[in-house]
Chains A and B, each alone.
Chain A
Amino acid sequence: GAGVSQSPRYKVAKRGQDVALRCDPISGHVSLFWYQQALGQGPEFLTYFQNEAQLDKSGLPSDRFFAERPEGSVSTLKIQRTQQEDSAVYLCASSSRQTILFFGSGTQLSVL
Chain B
Amino acid sequence: AQSVAQPEDQVNVAEGNPLTVKCTYSVSGNPYLFWYVQYPNRGLQFLLKYITGDNLVKGSYGFEAEFNKSQTSFHLKKPSALVSDSALYFCAVRDMGRAAGNKLTFGGGTRVLVKP
Interface residues of A (CB under 8 A from B): 4, 31, 33, 35, 40-45, 48, 50, 55-56, 91, 93, 95, 98-106
Contacts and interface: CB of A to CB of B under 8 A. Distances in A.
B102 to A, nearest CB: 5
B103 A56 contact: yes
Nearest to A9: B41
Given A40-B109, A105-B43, A99 B103 contact: no
Interface in B1-49: 32, 34, 36, 41-46, 49
Contacts of B99: 55-56
Interface residues of B, number: 24
A84 B45 CA distance: 28
A112 to B, nearest CB: 20
Interface of B: 32, 34, 36, 41-46, 49, 51, 90, 94, 99-109
Given A43-B90, A99-B94, A31 B43 contact: no
Given A43-B90, A99-B51, A105 B42 contact: yes
Contact of A106 (B32, B43, B109): B43
Query: Would you list the 9 A-B pairs with minimal beta carbon distance, nearest first?
Result: A103-B43, A42-B106, A103-B44, A105-B43, A95-B102, A31-B101, A42-B108, A42-B109, A55-B99
Nearest to A103: B43
A77 B67 CA distance: 36
Nearest to B43: A103
A98 B109 CA distance: 24
Contact of B45 (A31, A50, A103): A103
B102 A91 contact: no
A99 B32 CA distance: 9
